[in-house]
Amino acid sequence: MASPFTQKIIETIRAIPEGRVTTYGRVAALAGNKRGARQVARVLHSSSRTENLPWHRVINREGRISLGEMQGYDEQKRLLLAEGVRFDKTDRIDLERFGWRPLEPMVTGA
């Protein structure tokens, strides 16, 4: 069974709408721990397939894909382009234009 924080990370990632991106740190903050960006990366690495997460919508705080070229970079970029997310000449995504910023932190239960 996943910890409550891990479950909130999963719920937050699932909530990212098509055509939008957010950062590892933003996911962590919305899930309740603004310093949990590395945990977000671990959840994405270990649970993206089993939880059917839109992993490709999570990028780094600079608006860039963190994966290396032989580690999923091309697949992530292809998936984002297919959703309408655009990259500049330096392969950066404009977080003002494509960033997902919900007004309220995720609420579980209820």
Residue 104 is predicted with a pLDDT of 54
What token pair was written down for 106?
């995720």
Give tens-digit pLDDT for 67-85.
998 899 999 999 999 999 9
What token pair was written down for 98?
């494509």
The residues with which 58 forms a beta bridge, in sequence order, are 22
Residue 105 is predicted with a pLDDT of 52
Question: How many Å apart are CA 93 and CA 98, to the nearest integer?
Answer: 7
The mean pLDDT value for 17-38 works out to 96
Quick one: CA torsion of 48, 62, 73, 20, rounded to 10 degrees? 60
The mean pLDDT value for 21-45 works out to 96
- Is 50 exceeded by the pLDDT of residue 108? no
Question: How many Å apart are CA 22 and CA 75, to the nearest integer?
Answer: 17
